[in-house]
């Protein structure tokens, strides 16, 4: 299982001390136009072709544009024993202070 964080509560959740990796599943162009501060870009389709690129050593927080790809990534990695978190609704609904343009 994994926890889902509502996009509206992401700032508060991050400020409580999340120390894992933040994974942006959107394509490189979307990532360059804006992303959550500290995020790493692993486009969903590329990641699913090579899922071992991410290790289980740290928690993984996944987000995408609308929430569907992060949900699929969480399902996959949770089944593999990773500690994962899903950002509900995706970055298209985010207007918090961690947005980097």
DSSP E strands, the chain: 3-6, 21-24, 35-36, 40-41, 60-63, 84-88, 99-100
pLDDT in tens, 1-32: 899 999 999 999 999 999 999 999 999 999 99
pLDDT in tens, 66-99: 999 999 999 999 999 999 999 999 999 999 999 9
- The CATH class of the 3-100 domain is alpha beta
Domain ranges of the chain: 3-100
């Amino acid at each position: 299982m994994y926890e889902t964080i509502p996009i509206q509560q992401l700032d508060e959740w991050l400020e409580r001390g999340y120390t894992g990796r933040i994974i942006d599943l959107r394509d490189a162009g979307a990532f360059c136009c804006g992303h959550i501060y500290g995020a790493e870009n692993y486009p969903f389709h590329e990641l699913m072709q090579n899922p071992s690129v991410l290790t289980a050593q740290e928690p993984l927080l996944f987000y995408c544009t609308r929430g569907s790809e992060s949900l699929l990534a969480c399902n996959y990695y949770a089944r593999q024993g990773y500690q994962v978190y899903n950002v509900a609704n995706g970055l298209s609904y985010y207007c918090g202070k961690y947005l980097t343009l």
